[in-house]
Amino acid sequence: MATTDPQGAPAIRPQDEKLEKSPNQTDTATDTESANVAITPDPAAPLSALSPAPDGGPRAWLVVSGAACIFFSCLGFMNSFGVFQAYYMTHQLRDQPADNIAWIGSLTAFIQFAGGAISGPLFDRFGAWVIRPGAVLYVFALMMTSISKQYWHFMLAQGVLTGFAMSLLQVPAFAAVAQYFDKKRAAALGIVVSGSSIGGVVFPIALSKMLNSSSLGFGWSVRVMGFLVIPLLGFSCFAIQARLPPRNTSFFIAQAFREIRFLMIVAAGFCCFIGMFTPLFFIPSYAVFRGIDATFASYLLAIVNAASTFGRIIPGMLADRFGKLNMFAIGGLFTGIIGLCMNTATNTAGLVVYSIAFGFSSGTIISGASAAFSICTDDPRNLGTYMGMGMAMASCASLLGPPVDGVMLEKYHGFLQATIFSGVICVAGGVLAFATKATTKEGLFGRS
C-alpha cells in the first residue's frame, strides 16, 4: 500500500515506482521525444489509450518534409506526362494513336493510387519500412524507361513499374503525416502535395529543355531525372516514421464499404479525377494544336503545377477551419467549370491565364480527397487503410478519362468534346462531395 508524505499526498514506494511510471516519463526523455512516442506500444490498445496527435513539432514537420520530397519525386514526375505525351507522338511512338500513348500515363496514374489498397494497410501493420523498397524500385523503373524503345517497353516500365513503385511511396507518406496531425491535418497534407506541384514545375521545364533543346537525347534526359530523385528519396526513407503502434487486425477494413460517407467520397473523387487529368495530359498537345511553339507548350505544365502549389496549401489551411468536405467540393466545382473553358484559350496569353486558373483550382483535389477520407474513421491507426482503399477505388477514373479523351481527339480532330466530357463529370464530383456533407453530424450546411 502507498504511504503518505508529511503533507498528506500519497507517496510511491520504490518497488512501485517502475509500475507507476509511464513510457513517456523517463528521466532522460526530452519534450520532443515525448511528443513523438505513442503512449502505449500495445497494438491492441483501445483508441482512448492513444496519445493525441502533436499537430506540430520537429518530428512531425520532418515527416512532412520527407513526404513532400516523395511527392516531388513521384507525383511531380507524373504531372509532367504531358511532355512525354507530346514527345512520344512525334518520336518513338509516332505510329501509335494518341489514346494508346495516353494509356501509358493513365496506367501510371491508376496504379500509383490503386496500389495504395496494398501499401496503405501495409503501413498500418508494419510502419514506414514499406517506403524503402518502393524508393529503390522507383529509381529502377526510371532507368528502365530511359532505355525503352517500343510501345510495350514504355507500358511496362513507365506505366506498370513506375506506378507500382509510386504506390509504395505516396499512400504511406500520406498516412504517416496524418498520424502526426489532427486539427491541422488538411493543411499538412496540402503542404505535402505541394511538393508534387514544385516537381511539376521542375520536371516539365527540365525535360522539355533536354528533349527539345539539347543533344542529350531521350535516354539521358530521363536518367538525369532518376539521379535527381535519388537523394530526395534517400532523405524520405529516414525522415518518415510512424507515430502509432501497428494495427494487427484484418488487412482490409470491410466495414468501410458499408459506410455511405466513404462510398460517396470515393464517387466524388472518381468524378473529379476524370476532369483533373485531362489538361495535365493534353494541354501541351492542345497548345501545339493552337500553333504554340512545342518548347513553350511544355512550359504550360510548369505553370499549371506552379499555380497548384498555392491551390494545395491555401485551401488546405482553409479546410481545417471551414471543413474538409467544403473545400473538396469547391475544388471539384471550380475545376470542372474551368476545365470546360479550355477550348476558349486560343493564344499564348489565354493559355497562360487558363493554366494558372486550372492549376490553382485542381490543386485542391488530391489533397482534398485524402483529407476527406480521413474523416471516415476516428482511429488514426486505420488512416492508411482508409486512404489507400479510397484512393484505389477513385483512381479507376484515370483508366477512363485520358484514353476517352484520346479517342475523342482521334474522332473529332479537336479538343471541344474532350473538355466538355471531363468538365461536366468533374462538376458532378464537386456536387457529390457537397452532398456527402449530409452524412456528417454537422449536416449539409455545417463545417464538415
- C-alpha 262: how far from chain center: 18
Q: Say which range, 344-353, 399-408, 423-432, has the weakest mean pLDDT.
A: 399-408
**Residue 231 confidence (pLDDT):** 95
Average pLDDT in the 304-310 region?
A: 84
- What percent of the chain has pLDDT above 70? 87
User: Using CA atoms in the order 398, 433, 328, 282, what is the torsion angle rounded to 10 degrees?
Assistant: 30
Q: Which three cell numbers stand for residue 92?
A: 518513338
pLDDT averaged over every residue in the chain? 81
- pLDDT (tens digit per residue) in 404-446: 887 888 888 888 888 899 899 999 999 999 999 888 887 777 6
DSSP-derived secondary structure for 269-309: HHHHHHHHHHHHHHHHHHHHHTT--HHHHHHHHHHHHHHHH
- What percent of the chain has pLDDT above 90? 24
Average pLDDT in the 56-60 region?
A: 87
Query: Which of 357, 324, 323 is closest to 340 using CA atoms?
Result: 357
User: What are the residue ranges spanned by the domains of the chain?
Assistant: 54-242+251-439
Q: Say yes or no to pLDDT of 60 above 60.
A: yes
Q: Say which range, 6-10, 70-74, 402-406, has the weakest mean pLDDT.
A: 6-10
Residue 4 bridge partners (DSSP): 10
**Residue 8 confidence (pLDDT):** 43
Angle, CA 365 vertex, CA 413 and CA 59 arms, to 5°: 140
Average pLDDT in the 226-241 region?
A: 93
Q: Do 358 and 301 touch, CB atoms closer than 8 A?
A: no
Residue 184: partners with Cβ closer than 8 Å, 6 or more residues away:
55, 56, 320
**Residue 316 confidence (pLDDT):** 77
* CATH among 3.20.20.70, 3.10.350.10, 3.30.950.10, 1.20.1250.20 for 54-242+251-439: 1.20.1250.20
Query: Which of 422, 71, 171 is closest to 272 using CA atoms?
Result: 422
- pLDDT (tens digit per residue) in 80-106: 887 888 888 888 888 888 778 888 988
Instruction: List Cα–Cα distances, 298 to 6, 79, 103, 256, in angstroms.
Output: 78, 11, 19, 41
- Measured in degrees and rounded to the nearest 5, phi and psi for residue 378 equal -95, -10
Q: Do 293 and 415 touch, CB atoms closer than 8 A?
A: no
Q: Given pLDDT bands bounded at 50, 70 and 90, which one contains residue 15?
A: very low
**Residue 45 confidence (pLDDT):** 52
